[in-house]
């Protein structure tokens, strides 16, 4: 009888301990900060909080930057949305995964040995007790099925679009290129009449609705904006904020590409995008910039709506915010209107963090990588580091505990084409070993390639240590069929496995 009584008491004690342990886990998860993850497509650094170029108007983004830490020298890992976003969400470099082009969301983690068992950023939060939600453009299209507990999806394409459109078609007499590589939706104008007809506005409505709900665990909320991605259409009122007479065009030299290696010229062969010379001759240059700035101001307004909803919610004081863009965007620099390059204006993009335990009103000029978003959010949220992350947490730099000297940012565009930003210089090495080198202290516009200048021999040699040691073949599910160079490179590198994969929205 005593033995049975002892067993009964022991069972009660074990049960109580188990309930206490479960309560502790739940309490720990509840005390974690929420995360608001804001992605803006094709947003360059023409923001008020950065260089205020061409009198851009971004009061809400500027306010967010002032409330936290602004990284003024952040760079993407690929100057193309698909591979850039895959890198951010997997925490791996394109050179590690071979995801150099557009990859269907469901194929980012398929038979690829580098990614097949990777944990995507939102999944890591879910695995650590978070309720995850997402809407809009987050991966290349939206997100793989099951990555979010709640997914608001994404409106197909980049509309709405007027019935009559001017769509850029710069192929001229190159019928072969037009047949094989198609064209993009690069056009611009005032449309539609109301913000409420814009998918981004609807995505913000969805986000605000969820910020007004109660949750029994911390949340990870991801919001992906489509604008300012082409086509550059937003309502007229946003154009009115940017009169043509007040617009300053981007720095440009017509002979800028005379000292660029052949591979660099091939990569920059973008007949599907308007050329700067065409924009000058037709008088469209300022109009394109006006449309871009109008789209940026529209997105800024929508971000303001989200931030106001957060401030008025019960989550205002316990939410980590990150705002980022997948790459820069050239508005006439280096001869075109596009991302698609290893130069400064294509790789540089906004990155900022705010929230609990984030310093306020701090700007950091050291070069950093978008790859660092994953590990930085984990540390800011008090979660254990993910050993597969190839980026570094930026928290020590934010808090002044790590020296900013010696940090660098690596961008990759196709196999064995790399660009490195560090110490006020940019070094580019292409697949055939040819190089570019720029001294940003003397030449911020990267107009003079100093790769053959003996005065920079030591600096160039030092940069080579940053080049990746792994340069994977193209992932068979990844391609960029709108660019002749990359179609050719994948076929050369992968052989018979290098056949282009048809990807919806491949030009974007």
List pLDDT tens digits, range 195-238: 999 999 999 999 999 999 999 999 999 999 999 999 999 999 99
Assess whether pLDDT exceeds 90 at residue 443. Answer: yes
Is residue 463 one of the residues assigned to a domain? no
- 293 is in which domain, residue-wise? 34-258+268-401
Is residue 337 one of the residues assigned to a domain? yes
Q: How far apart are CA 226 and CA 199, in angstroms?
A: 8
What residues are annotated to the active site? Answer: 81, 140
Q: How far apart are CA 372 and CA 207, in angstroms?
A: 25
Assess whether pLDDT exceeds 70 at residue 417. Answer: yes
Is residue 183 one of the residues assigned to a domain? yes
For residue 479, give the 3-state DSSP assignment: strand
pTM given for the model: 0.91
Pairing between β-strand 232-234 and β-strand 435-439 as defined by DSSP bridges = unpaired
Provide the token pair at 464: 């080579």
| Closest-CA residue to 340 (of 150, 133, 184) | 184
| Closest-CA residue to 473 (of 105, 114, 80) | 114
Average pLDDT over residues 349-363: 97
Q: How far apart are CA 126 and CA 362, in angstroms?
A: 30
Is residue 492 one of the residues assigned to a domain? no
Q: What is the pLDDT of residues 461-471, one digit of tens each?
A: 999 999 999 99
pLDDT of the residue at 484: 85
For residues 379-397, one letter each, b for 16 or more C-beta atoms within 10 angstroms of the residue's C-beta and e for the rest, the string is bbbebeebebbbbbbbbeb
Greater confidence (4 vs 337) lies with 337
Mean pLDDT over each residue of the chain, to the nearest integer: 90
Asked if 267 contacts 341 with a C-beta cutoff of 8 angstroms, the reply is yes
Assess whether pLDDT exceeds 80 at residue 3. Answer: no
End-to-end, the C-alpha distance of the chain in Å comes to 76
Is residue 464 one of the residues assigned to a domain? no
Pairing between β-strand 418-422 and β-strand 409-412 as defined by DSSP bridges = antiparallel
What proportion of the chain, given as a percentage, has pLDDT over 90?
A: 82
Distance, CA of 70 to chain centre: 15
pLDDT of the residue at 22: 43
Assess whether pLDDT exceeds 80 at residue 377. Answer: yes
Greater confidence (299 vs 51) lies with 299
pLDDT of the residue at 13: 45
pLDDT of the residue at 219: 98
Q: Specify the CATH number for the domain of residue 118.
A: 3.40.720.10
Is residue 156 one of the residues assigned to a domain? yes
Provide the token pair at 155: 């409106």
**Residue with tokens 């084409």, as numbered in its chain:** 417
Assess whether pLDDT exceeds 60 at residue 481. Answer: yes
Assess whether pLDDT exceeds 60 at residue 8. Answer: no
Assess whether pLDDT exceeds 80 at residue 102. Answer: yes
Q: How far apart are CA 204 and CA 220, in angstroms?
A: 15
Assess whether pLDDT exceeds 50 at residue 448. Answer: yes
- DSSP for 358-389 reads S-SSEEE-S-EEGGGHHHHHHHHTTPPPPTT-
Torsions phi, psi of 53, nearest 5?
A: -65, 140
| Residues in a beta bridge with 222 | 37, 134
Q: What is the pLDDT of residues 294-342, one digit of tens each?
A: 999 999 999 999 999 999 999 999 999 999 999 999 999 999 999 999 9
Provide the token pair at 1: 């009888």
Assess whether pLDDT exceeds 80 at residue 406. Answer: no
Is residue 312 one of the residues assigned to a domain? yes
Average pLDDT over residues 105-110: 95
| Closest-CA residue to 99 (of 496, 476, 495, 504) | 476
Provide the token pair at 283: 């008088």
Assess whether pLDDT exceeds 90 at residue 117. Answer: yes
Q: Which residues contact 436 (CB under 8 A, 6 or more apart)?
A: 260, 261, 264, 342, 426, 427, 428, 446, 449, 451
How many independent structural domains does the chain possess? 1
| Closest-CA residue to 377 (of 400, 395, 351, 404) | 395
Is residue 408 one of the residues assigned to a domain? no
């Amino acid at each position: 009888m005593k033995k049975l009584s002892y067993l009964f008491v022991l069972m009660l004690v074990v049960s109580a301990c188990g309930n206490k342990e479960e309560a502790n886990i739940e309490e720990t998860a509840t005390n974690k900060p929420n995360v608001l993850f804001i992605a803006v497509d094709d947003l360059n650094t023409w923001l008020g909080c950065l260089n205020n170029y061409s009198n851009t108007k971004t009061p809400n983004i500027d306010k967010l930057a002032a409330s936290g830490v602004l990284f003024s020298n952040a760079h993407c890992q690929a100057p193309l949305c698909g591979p850039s976003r895959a890198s951010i969400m997997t925490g791996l470099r394109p050179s590690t995964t071979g995801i150099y082009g557009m990859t269907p969301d469901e194929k980012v983690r398929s038979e690829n040995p580098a990614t097949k068992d990777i944990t995507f950023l939102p999944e890591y939060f879910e695995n650590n007790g978070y309720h995850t939600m997402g809407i809009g453009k987050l991966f290349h299209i939206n997100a793989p099925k099951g990555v979010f507990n709640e997914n608001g999806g994404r409106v197909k394409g980049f509309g709405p679009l007027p019935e009559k459109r001017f769509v850029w078609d710069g192929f001229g007499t190159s019928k072969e290129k037009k047949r094989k590589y198609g064209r993009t939706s690069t056009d611009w104008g005032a449309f539609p009449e109301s913000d409420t007809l814009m998918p981004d506005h609807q995505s913000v409505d969805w986000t605000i609705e969820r910020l007004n709900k109660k949750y029994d665990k911390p949340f990870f909320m991801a919001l992906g904006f489509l604008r300012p991605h082409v086509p550059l259409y937003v309502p007229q009122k946003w154009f009115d904020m940017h009169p043509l007479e007040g617009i300053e065009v981007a720095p440009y030299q017509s002979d800028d590409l005379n000292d660029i290696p052949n591979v660099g010229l091939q990569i920059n062969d973008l007949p599907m995008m308007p050329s700067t010379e065409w924009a000058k001759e037709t008088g469209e240059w300022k109009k394109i910039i006006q449309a871009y700035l109008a789209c940026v101001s529209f997105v800024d307004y929508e971000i303001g709506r989200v931030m106001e909803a957060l401030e008025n919610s019960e989550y205002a004081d316990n939410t980590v915010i990150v705002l980022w863009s997948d790459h820069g965007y050239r508005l006439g620099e280096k001869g075109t209107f596009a991302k698609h390059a290893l130069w400064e204006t294509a790789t540089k993009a906004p990155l900022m963090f705010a929230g609990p335990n984030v310093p306020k009103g701090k700007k950091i000029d050291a070069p950093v990588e978008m790859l660092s978003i994953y590990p930085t959010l984990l540390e800011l949220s008090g979660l254990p580091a993910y050993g597969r992350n190839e980026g570094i947490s930026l928290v020590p730099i934010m808090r002044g505990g790590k020296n900013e000297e010696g940090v660098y940012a690596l961008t990759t565009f196709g196999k064995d084409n790399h660009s490195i930003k560090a110490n006020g210089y940019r070094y580019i090495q292409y697949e055939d070993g040819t190089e570019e080198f720029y001294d940003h202290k003397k030449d911020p516009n990267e107009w003079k390639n100093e790769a053959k200048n003996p005065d920079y021999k030591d600096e160039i040699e030092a940069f080579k240590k940053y080049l990746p040691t792994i340069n994977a073949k193209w992932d068979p599910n990844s391609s960029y069929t709108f660019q002749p160079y990359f179609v050719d490179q994948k076929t050369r590198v992968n052989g018979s496995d290098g056949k282009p994969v048809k990807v919806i929205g491949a030009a974007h």
